[in-house]
Structure 1
Amino acid sequence: MIFTTNHTYAILRFSQARASIMSDLDEMHAFAAVMTSGSLTHSARHLGVSKSTLSRRIQQLETRLGQPLMRRQSNRLLPTEAGSVFHDYCLRILDLADQGQRALEELREEISGELTLQVHDALGRSWIAGAIDDFMQRHPGVHVSLMIRENLPEHFAPQSVVIWFGDTGETGLRQETLALLSRGLYAHPDYLARHGHPAHPHELESHDWIDLLGEAEHGLVLRHPRQGQVDVRPPGSRLRVNRLVLQSDAIARGQGLGVMPNWMAERREAAHPGQLERCLDDWQVSPSPVSLLYAHGHQPRKVSALLEFLRSACPAEWQLGTRRRAS
């Protein structure tokens, strides 16, 4: 019985609070409407209430604030000094209330419909292919078009999200860094047995090189915690590839050295032990970002759900502490 009484009291208090908030908003809507038109008659017609109701709401607002907000001049209502000051705050409050209402309405929306997810080739099979199954199981009403890409799309469709590996440049989209993936130098143990282990970055110039997208053509920067920075220009690569999987295959076949994300190299080594060996462990190569790209502005519920899922589904090996949200 006590529980029932307390529960009923809580419901009554909530209902009273909600009624008070709605009453306040009605008063502010009335004030904002009259500020726009300068007329009780026009504003009452616009809001769908009687002229007397509109006048009473403004009077109640003035009583609550303790100052007159409007004065009559000829056939128009004009703001007092207090009314001019309060008007800006009134509009902000009404806008926030509208945003809150839209957010609550979105929570009632079923997450369903078409989504397009465009993913860099390096992250397709290694991450997204498995992760997206989990997303679709959580949201059975969603249909996803998963597209693997080697280049950024020139045209960005609505309801679309892009996951990219590496630099993106200026795209006109909102960019959010999911992770900064550390990278290292790798070779097959047999290659190192034939050509020797490089002891310093300058020795890389005498090794065969497996280049990804011509990245090393303009030089490679390596940093050491004590020895500082060294700029290296590897020899022209006899094999240039445009996909990370082709590069790792070539390195694993013993064709030369190359720069790979440590995460990807460790996964390959776990699946195929003895294929890759890291070189110059103490020297750091600049990391590669993994980015989310999506349209600016308010996102539909299904897009927001996908973005939140992708943020939480990053592999633990990506050093999630490096993640930062878009500003």
Structure 2
Amino acid sequence: MPPVLDEFQGLSAFDAIMRHGNLGAGAEHLGISKSTLSRRISHLEYQLGQPLLHRQANRLIPTEAGTLFHQYCQQMLSLGERSQMALDELREEVSGDLSISVHPHFLRGWFNRLLTEFIEEYPGIRLTLTSNLQPPTREDDQVMLWLWEGPTRDSGLRDEVLGHQRQHLYAHPDYLRQHGHPQHPGELASHDWVNLIDRHHPDLVLHHPEQGEYRVSLPPSRFTVDNVVVHADHITHGAGIGLLPDHHVRTRSVAHPGQFEACLPEWQGPSIPVSLHYPFGHPPRKLGALLDRIRRHVPKDWGQP
């Protein structure tokens, strides 16, 4: 028996009797002699100050106190096992295989840098990173963690929202010099639009802190893509106006200033939830270490969950 559970010997003995009904079967289940099992039951009853079992023919039957105590006994044994597992896990190395699935928008930038730092800190980790435009599902039991952007459906996985990416309209300064700055969302219909698949078309709802919501019927996009990096590339090439996450624009502008200019900056697009998905239960230490790092490095300009 693990060391942390040594004090639970009496509880284990009583639980074995309750499950098997007699000394012989209970002792065999625990791998001890009948006399040892009997001593443990007697010691437990002495500690509690009342009998828990009485003999009836060849069986041991619980007293009223025994029936009541068994409910608490099972809870204490379960807690003891979980505490032992948690202590054992502290001795484990953060190592082994980790398979992660991400929305394609996270293949570059913040999350990719985070994973690089993670494997540098834990040389025993072997990461497999795949991208998927399909929402997380527990049917893929090879994946331990999903990072998703956008709405989700019930997947049977734990759903942890990290934050919300705010969005605004952006264009390249050259495009705005040639075509003019829109002064109201209603003017967007006369501009070229760069669309992201399944994100804003055909209607876009913008929100103003004073004027409220405005629904824009967008013109057909001459270029539609499913990746925010390529989407942003096309906007910087002067193809038109598009809705982009503010975090992506700010990050990219550090290395390439002057590529984006905000359009209608007081009008905000719908925020995009970003969430982690992973199996219920206590995560293995390698996954727990990665989850902790992700939570500590959520971009500061994401809105609160």
* TM-score in terms of structure 2 length: 0.90
By how many angstroms is 1:315 displaced?
A: 3.0
SS of equivalent residue, structure 1 residue 191: helix
5+ unaligned residues in a row in structure 2: which ranges? none
Equivalent in 179, 186, 189 of residue 195 of structure 1? 179
- TM-aligned CA deviation for residue 212 of structure 1: 0.3
Q: Which range moved further: 248-257 or 116-125?
A: 116-125
Q: Determine if the alignment matches structure 1 residue 230 to structure 2 residue 210.
A: no
Counterpart AA for 1:176? E
Q: What is the distance in 1 between the residues matched to 2:246 and 2:98? A: 31
Are 2:101 and 2:143, in contact at CA under 8 Å, matched by a contact in 1? Answer: no
**Residue in 2 aligned with 1:156?**
140
**Does the CA-based 8 Å contact 1:205-1:235 persist in structure 2?**
yes
User: Which residue matches 1:122?
Assistant: 105
Contact 1:216/1:233 (<8 A) preserved: no
Report what 2:74 is aligned to. 91
- Write the mapping of 1:20-169 to structure 2, written as runs, cut at 5 A: 22=5, 24-152=7-135, 156-158=140-142, 160-169=144-153
Partner residue in 1 for 2:275: 291
Question: Match for 2:227 among 214, 232, 243?
Answer: 243
Contact persistence 1:159–1:303 (CA under 8 A) = no
Structure 2 residue aligned with 1:181 = 165
Does residue 297 of structure 2 align to residue 313 of structure 1? yes
2:257 counterpart of 1:303: no
Q: Conserved in 1, the CA contact under 8 Å of 2:95 and 2:126?
A: yes
Identity across the alignment (%): 45
- What is the deviation of 1:99? 0.8
Partner of 2:245: 261
Query: Would you say the 8 A contact 2:136–2:155 is kept in 1?
Result: no
Hey, what's the Cα distance between the residues in 2 that align with 1:45 and 1:173? 39
For the 8 Å contact 1:30–1:54, the answer to whether it is kept is yes
- Code of the residue aligned with 1:93 in structure 2: it is M
The residue identity in structure 2 corresponding to 1:166 is: G
Offset of residue 58 of structure 1: 1.6
8 A Cα contact 2:168 2:268, kept in partner: yes
Q: Distance in 2 between matches of 1:149 and 1:77?
A: 58
Amino acid aligned to 1:44: A
Instruction: Quote the offset at 1:273 in angstroms.
Output: 2.0
Equivalent residues in 2 for 1:203-214, closer than 5 Å: 203-214=187-198
**Conserved? CA contact 1:188–1:276, under 8 Å:** yes
Instruction: Give the Å deviation of 1:133.
Output: 1.8
Q: 2:198, 2:112 → 1: CA distance?
A: 27
Q: Does 1:276 align with 2:276?
A: no
Alpha-carbon distance, 1:81 to partner = 1.3
C-alpha separation in 2, matches of 1:214 and 1:148: 17
Q: C-alpha displacement at 1:82, in angstroms?
A: 1.3
Mapped to 2, the partners of 1:304 and 1:110 lie a distance apart of 12
What do you get for the CA RMSD once the two structures are aligned? 2.3
Determine which structure has the larger helix proportion and give its number: 1
Q: Deviations over 1:232-279 (max 9, x none)?
A: 221111221221112111211222111100011112222222221112
2:206–2:214 contact (8 Å) kept in structure 1? yes
Q: CA deviation at 1:129?
A: 2.6
Give the Cα–Cα distance (whole angstroms) in 2 for the partners of residues 42 and 173 of structure 1.
Answer: 39
Give me the whole-angstrom Cα distance separating, in 1, the residues matched to 2:266 and 2:94: 47
Give the whole-Å Cα distance in 2 for the aligned partners of 1:218 and 1:89: 59
Equivalent pairs, count: 303
Q: 1:22 to 1:195 in 2, by over 3 A?
A: closer
CA contact (8 A) 2:165 2:274 kept: yes
1:153 and 1:61 map into 2 onto residues whose CA distance is: 49
Question: Which TM-score applies when normalising by structure 1?
Answer: 0.84
